[in-house]
Amino acid sequence: MTQSANKVVIFLGPPGAGKGTQAERLAREEGLIKISTGDILRDHVSRGTELGQQVRPILDAGALVPDAILIALIRDYLAGMESVRVIFDGFPRTRAQAEALDLLLEELGAPVTAVPLLEVPDELLIERIVERGRQAALRGEAARSDDTEEVARRRQEVYRKQTQPLIDYYGARGHLRPVDGVGTMDEVYGRIVAALG
């Protein structure tokens, strides 16, 4: 496969904005691999691996897992990919992660294609997250440990302090594509596709 087949999309946005939902559909429809660091970490927690045991209290508290762990994880994930056709959901989340990702992508000759930023008002975000927890409980499933109102607010705070600066980081590089994240999932998806051109 040629280098031109590379495609790197990074979904940015606060907790509950719809990154996972929209990234999943885009991956399916565009033939891309979705890399969700939250899913990867939760999988480690549920399997009780050493990493899972280490990060469990961090996820429960709504804090960020140390950069070095995430960067190593992504490095392993990208290693050996012949063409880099990926969507990142939940990574990078700090400037250090963004800079490390740029270096990894440079080594692979696969620059960032675009960064859709899903914009949703704070209170709606909390509603969505709490509702997800409630629905899981109604189905008799285990809800995400961080889907309580208290932890969701903490995740919002962490987003504001540590991840929001990436809006400027990608804006300065011309990659940012702000998208209104309010509306039906189909409406939001349509806006993302239009923003990606």
Considering only residues 48-67, where is the footprint of ligand AP5 by CB under 6 A?
58-59, 62-65
User: Nearest distance from residue 177's CB to ligand AP5, in Å?
Assistant: 16
Query: According to the annotation, is 183 in a ligand binding site?
Result: yes
Residue 134 falls in the annotated catalytic set: no
- DSSP for 120-180 reads --HHHHHHHHHHHHHHHHHTTPPPPTT-SHHHHHHHHHHIIIIITHHHHHHHHTT-EEEEE
Residue 21 engages ligand AP5 in binding (rule: CB under 6 A): yes
Instruction: Single out the residue of 54, 132, 136, 148 in contact with ligand AP5 (rule: CB under 6 A).
Output: 132
Stretch that binds ligand AP5, among 45-53, 79-87, 168-176, 182-190 (CB under 6 A): 182-190
Instruction: Single out the residue of 128, 175, 177, 191 in contact with ligand AP5 (rule: CB under 6 A).
Output: 128
98 vs 112: CA distance, rounded Å:
11
Q: Euclidean distance between the first and final Cα of the chain, in Å?
A: 23
User: Nearest distance from residue 4's CB to ligand AP5, in Å?
Assistant: 28
Strands 7-11 and 176-180: unpaired
